[in-house]
Amino acid sequence: MLGILKIAYKLLVNDRAKFAALLIGITFAVSLMMQMTSLFAGVLSRASATVYNTGASIWVMDPAVQTVANAIPMPDYVLDQVRSLPGVKYAVPLYSGIGLVKLKDGAYQAANVIGLDDSTLFGRPSLLQGNIQDIFAENGFFVVRDAEYSKLESPGVGMEFELNDHHARIVGIAHVASAGLFGIPTLYTTYNRARQYLPSTRFTTAYILVEPKGAGDIDAIEARVHEMGYLALTKDQFTAKISDFYMYQTGLGINLLLMTVISFIVGLSISGQTFYTFIIENIDKFGALKAIGAKGGELIAMILFQATFTALTGFGLGLGICALIIWLAHLRLPDYAAIITFGNIGLALGMVVIIAAVSSYVGVRKVLHIEPFDIFRS
């Protein structure tokens, strides 16, 4: 069998033009599929950035909330009710809003302001510079150093600025696990200061962050909050809700899905047609092998090897090109959201396997029906 596979390999690579055409088709398709799915994965990851960065086990919110960015304030008494529920270890409020920062040149820059519970600072980011206690200082804010950091003129510790016509000062530079989606910088401060600085409605509690006493208390807490008329979701459930919103209730998911399907069809059509042409041009060689005693199973193994080798090589090249493009894009465009995940790689690999299977089927049908007599007679 090893000798047969060596012959299959030489037949495949000796015709460099056809082999290159096969590789280009699959590489192009894989690269496009990976780009589309990686972009979607990056968007979903950044859309849930606040959920990841805060790290709360349970989020209590208004049932109408669809994403973490469109918080609907709840009455203050809801916090007291949640704290009194059985199984709740502690619960703290979280403020989330948008403010306008006045820059040195007089321009204004929108910023996402996160207000942490004054007593616990639960959900606080890790600091690169500064002291966590300085957030309690007068007008103290932490700024997140991420892709949007430069939009605030890359402020250092001690820099003063105006936020919604209020005096503010940077007392720390923070780092978070995931950057936001909407291209605006993020500031952290205390809950009461955020309420003071940002205009708000009658209610100001955007979310209630809950830590249960144990994993077994989560279902009971969710049920009791539901009886109160509000929604309690675990971190994973809230992330899934956000993903479903962007996937099914916006055009983003459908558009990227269509581009992925189109990329798959392009790769399938190019590879299938090129592989069929390759089989036709080498049909005499397969007929000769059959005439000297090669069995049908060995011929099938040759075709499967050729299709698999080409598909996996194209897959590797396409994945490498996609990773290179994303890396270059991140260097030039820090806001670029695409990320490669194991799910993206698995999806692309599955589609490549389908392409290889269809190409193999086309070749096998043709080779198994050849007659050596017809080959030698021609």
Q: Cα–Cα distance between 7 and 378 in angstroms, integer?
A: 23
Please state the φ and ψ torsions of residue 62, each to the nearest 5 degrees.
-70, 140
pTM: predicted TM-score of the whole model, two decimal places: 0.74
* Mean pLDDT over each residue of the chain, to the nearest integer: 84
Whether the predicted pLDDT of 335 surpasses 80: no
Whether the predicted pLDDT of 378 surpasses 70: no
| Predicted local distance difference test score (pLDDT) of residue 38 | 86
Whether 54 is covered by a domain: the verdict is no
Question: pLDDT tens across 251-272, in order?
Answer: 777 787 787 788 778 777 777 7
Which residues lie closer than 8 Å to 50 by C-beta, 6 or more apart?
Answer: 68, 69, 96, 114, 180
| Predicted local distance difference test score (pLDDT) of residue 71 | 85
Whether the predicted pLDDT of 249 surpasses 60: yes
Same domain, yes or no, for 221 and 91?
A: yes
Question: pLDDT tens across 109-143, in order?
Answer: 888 899 999 999 998 889 999 899 999 988 899 99
pLDDT confidence tier of residue 372, bands split at 50, 70 and 90: low
pLDDT confidence tier of residue 45, bands split at 50, 70 and 90: confident
Whether the predicted pLDDT of 324 surpasses 90: yes
Same domain, yes or no, for 268 and 127?
A: no
Whether 283 is covered by a domain: the verdict is yes
pLDDT confidence tier of residue 72, bands split at 50, 70 and 90: confident
- Nearest CA-CA partner of 71 in 86, 54, 53, 59: 59
Whether 238 is covered by a domain: the verdict is no
| Predicted local distance difference test score (pLDDT) of residue 377 | 55
Most confidently modeled of 48-62, 278-292, 350-364? 48-62
pLDDT confidence tier of residue 231, bands split at 50, 70 and 90: very high
Same domain, yes or no, for 298 and 359?
A: yes
Same domain, yes or no, for 264 and 162?
A: no
Whether 143 is covered by a domain: the verdict is yes
Q: Cα–Cα distance between 11 and 279 in angstroms, integer?
A: 10
Whether the predicted pLDDT of 352 surpasses 90: no
Domain range for 217 is: 75-229
Name the domain boundary from 173, 198, 229.
229
Same domain, yes or no, for 220 and 110?
A: yes
Looking at the structure of the chain, the number of domains it has is 2
Q: Cα–Cα distance between 163 and 151 in angstroms, integer?
A: 14
Same domain, yes or no, for 327 and 181?
A: no
pLDDT (average), residues 269-296: 73
| Predicted local distance difference test score (pLDDT) of residue 79 | 92
Mean pLDDT lowest among 1-5, 69-73, 298-302? 1-5
In percent, how much of the chain has pLDDT > 70? 95
Question: pLDDT tens across 142-175, in order?
Answer: 999 988 888 888 888 988 888 988 899 999 999 8
| Predicted local distance difference test score (pLDDT) of residue 115 | 92
Whether the predicted pLDDT of 203 surpasses 90: no
pLDDT (average), residues 305-317: 86
Whether 67 is covered by a domain: the verdict is no
Identify whether the C-beta of residue 46 lies closer than 8 Å to the C-beta of residue 181. yes
pLDDT (average), residues 167-193: 87
| Predicted local distance difference test score (pLDDT) of residue 88 | 92
Distance, C-alpha 64 to centroid of its chain:
24
Whether 237 is covered by a domain: the verdict is no
Same domain, yes or no, for 38 and 132?
A: no
Whether 240 is covered by a domain: the verdict is no
Same domain, yes or no, for 104 and 208?
A: yes
Same domain, yes or no, for 200 and 273?
A: no
Within 10 angstroms of residue 24's Cβ, the number of other Cβ atoms is 16
Whether the predicted pLDDT of 230 surpasses 90: yes
Identify whether the C-beta of residue 36 lies closer than 8 Å to the C-beta of residue 169. no
Whether the predicted pLDDT of 374 surpasses 60: no
Same domain, yes or no, for 97 and 219?
A: yes
Whether 138 is covered by a domain: the verdict is yes
pLDDT (average), residues 4-33: 79
| Predicted local distance difference test score (pLDDT) of residue 350 | 85
Same domain, yes or no, for 33 and 167?
A: no
Report which of residues 272 and 343 the model is more confident about. 343
Same domain, yes or no, for 87 and 190?
A: yes
| Predicted local distance difference test score (pLDDT) of residue 23 | 83
Question: pLDDT tens across 91-116, in order?
Answer: 999 998 888 898 888 888 888 899 99
